[in-house]
Chains A and B, each alone.
Chain A
Amino acid sequence: MMKRMIIAGLKGGEGATTVTANLANALERLNQQTLSVDCTKMNLLRLHFSTPIQNTQGWAVNVMNNTAFYKAAYESPEGVAFFPFGELTVEETNQFKTSKKNVFNTLTNELTPLGGNDCWQLVLLDDFIENKEIYLSLLDSSDIICLVLTPDPSHYNLLHNKVFSRESFFYQKEYRIKTKFLVNQFHPEAVVSCDFLMVLQQELHDYLLPVILHYDVAIVESLANLTSLSIYAPQSQSSHDFQALAYWCLSYFSPENHPSSSL
């Protein structure tokens, strides 16, 4: 059965794009088939998959122009399949803004048959917390909603004021049970980072993923070298962290853990 995972940040800058790209890479290294979809206007996921900067193609461009959706599919040098968002013109952007909900409904419908049975679909979203209505079809069809946050005051604030609020998707039980929080850019050398991590561990309990992603310069370096982290710095802690995250994903969907999902 296809496994769909939504990855989103709370405010931007948490590294949700990085997480998506590297998790896809790590899953591929465990011989899992993956399909990553970039739904952010910044269109940066393609950078992690070594796409040339000049390439402006993407699924949103195709949808706007009524071109076939699947034609926007690419494969990275490591063999990871992905859909870049594409660079929209001003006109297209306006059009996209007005018909956002329809676009994402189309996306959900187009994605569902793709990628075969055991495929992991990693869907990267932005402005997620404020605009849950737009993504409803995606939310309903997803298996995990992974919210990336960094252990700092602003994210703690957002967590309490936005995520835990009555309007939030998190307030609804059917979404809450599949939500997981993922701490990224953890600075063990900074006391404040450690303290906020401890608070998050206390408050989020099982909603917090057991894997903590450490801040590592190697991530930026691998991006600058247009290659994946696991190739650029295989012995870096980040590479190990993502490997651990991939293992967690596998165990989360293992039949023993999730008897219902195996049916």
Chain B
Amino acid sequence: MLYNPSIVKHFKQQRRFYEQCWQSPSSLMGRAVLWGWFSFCLFFLKPKVAGIRSWRLLLHYYPHINFSHPSLLDGIRFIIQSLWLLIVKQNSISKKHVNVKAGFKKIYGAVSHCFNVPLHFMMQKKNVIEESVSQINMRLFHQNKIIQQTHTMIIYLGVSLVVVLILICIMVPLTLAAQSIFIVILWMLAMMVRRLPGRFPSLFLIALSLLASTRYIWWRSTSTLNWDEPIGLVLGGILLMAEIYAWIILILGYFQNMWPLNRKPEPLPVDPKDWPVIDIMIPTLNEECHIIKTTIYALLGIDWPKNKLNIYILDDGNREDIKQFSKEVGVHYLARPTHEGAKAGNINYALARSDADFVAVFDCDHIPTRAFFQLTMGIFLNDPKLALLQTAHHFFSPDPFERNLANFGHVPNESSLFYGLTQDGNDLWNSAFFCGSCAILRRKPLEEVGGVAVETVTEDAHTSLKMHRLGYRSAYLKQPISAGLATETLSAHVAQRIRWARGMAQIFRIENPLLAKGLKWQQRLCYLNAMLHFLSGIPRIVFLTAPLFFLLFHVYVIYAPALAIILYVLPHMMHASITNSRMQGEYRHSFWGEIYETVIAWYIARPTTIALFLPNKGFFNVTEKGGLVLKSYYDWTLATPYLVLVGFNIAGVLYGIYRLGWGPSGEIGSVSVNLLWTLYNLFILGGAVAVAEETKQVRENPRVAVNIPVIIRFHSGHVIAAIMKNFSLGGLSIVTSQALPIEAGQKLEVILTGGKQEFIFPLRIIYRQNKLLGLALETLSPQQHIDYVQCTFARADTWVQWQRGSRTDKPLMSLQQVLEVGGKGYQRLWKHSPRVIFYSVKYLLRLIAVIASLRPRPIFINKKVMDYYAPVMNEHN
């Protein structure tokens, strides 16, 4: 009543501004507060303070308090913020902030410039070296004896010089200061070479990494074991063994991957009459009928003379419907009376009942593209000693990691390292091995080794080992010319890995690649790595528990000062990481291997150990594929060992924090190092825990995303151009350029191209959403089925552009992703935990959030009010 109406109007406008900023209507309390504030401004303040209209000051100095609708704790927040503004922060430091940032940027720019300066120079040198290597005239070299002799001399001299240098670098003990200079030099060299393209820089990085790692292992074995304390010695010895194991794997891995062969398809004879006859074996046990059908349809339409193909379904499940189907489409059906030897026995049974010179093996869920044999058989015909040609396994459905972590297509999947790089690297050393599917074998060598090996549960690798021993060659094609289903659930994935691990350990005992006669040393190393790789279970568990012995039990597993540990272990890890990121980045992002390994570590530890001692025990378990996960659930059984490890690690962290604060001050360095290690382990374990939440998968036929032009034909005679977005065995989705006047349920035809021909298929509209049409296939004849598979799954180009989206690896970004996945694991664990824990944690978190909300906030002066609140408001929404 005291105010004049124009002032009232003014106040209302100002209040509305506050409401707009917070996008919420004001409460009675808020109106009173604001009224008071506006009056205060009007009577006691200048119209503008610090360049801001005084009635708006609250928005600037109390950005976290909604004065138009104050809540209960806002009073406390107001007091805390006021005290903070009065006592701690009287001037805005936002300007300083900018300066610090700019300065940091400047320094960063200068440093990276330093690395760039020699880049050009080194690039030139690199090119000179690579060119001179490629220009060496080998014929001249072999003719001239003197050149040859001097060449050998130079090589011996060079090698001995290098060996001496390497020994010095590895073994000479350095003071900590000298060691730090040494690692800085190594690191700088790596950083400069890292960006150069080509293979020579990769080799250089490998050399640096080997140097750093070997130096670390040398230092660890000579100066970090405490010989006076038995428990520490035993535990330290175990950790050291695990580290030596990892070091060996690292070296073998470098050896295997340093020069991938990148084999290319070779041309076939022009006249198809000269093409060989092929027996195609499709072993099956209990897979669903529609999965087998797709593969058979693809094979029936494959580009190869029909009279030179014999397709055999090897049904170990003796199923009537499969037999019926094989009769319908005219392929051979073989069912054994007995089922010994599992898949290997099944193939051997069929081998005895067929006679073509070449045998192709496909798992029943691997669909070959139509060009499969045209791209592969040329290699066979050009090399009579070639016994095996393996092609990449490519999966078009997400594996459990991709599905449960929802990163299908963003992060290279678990198998792509092996099929993209490792096998290709093996190929250089003539030791690419059989993977059980999508491969062609020559019958003669296969029969010479007694058919597919039945002594071990990984019959595939064992068979190729036997053939390599007889001097036959193998080849590998990494082009994706077939595609299959990945394992459905994590437990199936783990079961599959258990089988592989057990089988590899069995081969290691029965036919040890190091001792077996007939192999070249390169082949020995490649097979050795393949087998040792699966012994990673125990070392992995050792790494996950090692720091706990120090944190919980005061045992010095690494008997060295913290600083020394950092100075030695850091280059070891950094260089391994940089080098692997460069070599494998396209096929595996950094740190993801840790999660993949951790998940199976516990489960393969026991079977591999048993198989090492009792190689003849064990059975063959079939990997289930193409199933459904009807409801999301948490696989507690599978995750139990990791939950136990998580428990220990959390205990370790808590006790470590206690020791940090209240323990003896001399231990702080060691405690912090071990704490960091444990925290990292916790995140990795979190990743393993996250994967155990099985996301539901309700679609029976996994869809394959594509972008292929197709034609829709309506019964009215209208023909419309469209784009196929995805397809599955049951139907497809298409997008038209405009929404069409049609309804769900309507029937139409879709014309797909396969090669030069066009094929037409009857479909029904299942759903329609604007321009997107979901279509289901109507009943098709067998020939139409064949055509459909040829136009979709078996197209030669379907998988070529597949998953090429985000293939580059950035180690730090990848680390962040892995840590996020780890965090997600604990979130999921909490979500699935018993009610009591769920709610207590929930309220605890809420309490922490409330307390945290009382903290003072930075104020903003230079920005416009609306600019500042816009993002805030979005958060609130």
Residue ranges of A at the interface with B (Cβ–Cβ < 8 Å): 186, 188-189, 194, 197-198, 201, 212, 214-218, 233-240
Out of A201, A218, A234, which one reaches B737, CB within 8 Å? Answer: A234
Out of A189, A234, A237, A240, which one reaches B760, CB within 8 Å? Answer: A189
Let me know if B720 and A237 touch, CB within 8 A: yes
Query: Which 3 pairs show the lowest CB-CB distances between chains A and B?
Result: A217-B717, A237-B719, A240-B721
Select from chain A the residue with minimum beta-carbon distance to B736: A235
Let me know if B756 and A201 touch, CB within 8 A: yes
**B713: which A residues are within 8 A, CB to CB?**
188-189
Let me know if B711 and A214 touch, CB within 8 A: yes
Cα separation A198 to B759 with both chains bound (whole Å): 12
List residues of B (309-325) whose CB comes within 8 Å of A's CBs: none
B718 at the interface (CB under 8 A from A): yes
Select from chain B the residue with minimum beta-carbon distance to A201: B756
A182 CB to closest chain B CB, in angstroms? Answer: 15
Interface-central residue, A186, A188, A240, by most chain B CB under 10 Å: A188
**A235: which B residues are within 8 A, CB to CB?**
720-721, 736-738
Out of B718, B737, B756, B757, which one reaches A217, CB within 8 Å? Answer: B718
Cα separation A215 to B719 with both chains bound (whole Å): 8
Interface-central residue, A197, A235, A236, by most chain B CB under 10 Å: A235
**A237: which B residues are within 8 A, CB to CB?**
711, 719-721
Let me know if A239 and B760 touch, CB within 8 A: no
Residue ranges of B at the interface with A (Cβ–Cβ < 8 Å): 711, 713, 716-721, 736-738, 749, 751, 756-760
Cα separation A188 to B762 with both chains bound (whole Å): 12
What are some 15 contacts across the A-B interface (CB < 8 A)?
A194-B757, A194-B758, A198-B757, A214-B719, A215-B719, A216-B717, A216-B718, A217-B717, A217-B719, A233-B718, A236-B719, A236-B720, A236-B721, A237-B719, A239-B721
**A234: which B residues are within 8 A, CB to CB?**
737-738
Out of A186, A201, A215, which one reaches B717, CB within 8 Å? Answer: A215
A-B contact count (CB 8 A): 48
Cα separation A230 to B717 with both chains bound (whole Å): 17
**B759: which A residues are within 8 A, CB to CB?**
188
Select from chain B the residue with minimum beta-carbon distance to A191: B760
Let me know if B760 and A188 touch, CB within 8 A: yes
**B758: which A residues are within 8 A, CB to CB?**
186, 188, 194, 212
**A212: which B residues are within 8 A, CB to CB?**
758
Cα separation A198 to B757 with both chains bound (whole Å): 7
Known: A188-B751, A218-B719, A237-B721. 7 other contacts (CB 8 A): A188-B759, A188-B760, A212-B758, A217-B717, A218-B718, A233-B718, A239-B721
Cα separation A198 to B716 with both chains bound (whole Å): 25
**A215: which B residues are within 8 A, CB to CB?**
717, 719
Cα separation A237 to B723 with both chains bound (whole Å): 11
Out of A189, A216, A218, A238, which one reaches B749, CB within 8 Å? Answer: A189
Cα separation A201 to B756 with both chains bound (whole Å): 9
Select from chain A the residue with minimum beta-carbon distance to B749: A189
Let me know if A217 and B716 touch, CB within 8 A: yes
Cα separation A188 to B713 with both chains bound (whole Å): 9
**A236: which B residues are within 8 A, CB to CB?**
718-721
A45 CB to closest chain B CB, in angstroms? Answer: 23
**B736: which A residues are within 8 A, CB to CB?**
235
Interface-central residue, B737, B738, B758, B760, by most chain A CB under 10 Å: B758
Let me know if A188 and B721 touch, CB within 8 A: no
B507 CB to closest chain A CB, in angstroms? Answer: 51
A139 CB to closest chain B CB, in angstroms? Answer: 30
**B718: which A residues are within 8 A, CB to CB?**
216-218, 233, 236
Cα separation A194 to B749 with both chains bound (whole Å): 15
**A194: which B residues are within 8 A, CB to CB?**
757-758
Cα separation A217 to B717 with both chains bound (whole Å): 5
B171 CB to closest chain A CB, in angstroms? Answer: 63
A208 CB to closest chain B CB, in angstroms? Answer: 10
A234 CB to closest chain B CB, in angstroms? Answer: 7
Select from chain A the residue with minimum beta-carbon distance to B713: A189
Select from chain B the residue with minimum beta-carbon distance to A189: B760
Select from chain A the residue with minimum beta-carbon distance to B771: A235
Cα separation A201 to B759 with both chains bound (whole Å): 15
Cα separation A236 to B711 with both chains bound (whole Å): 9
Cα separation A182 to B760 with both chains bound (whole Å): 21
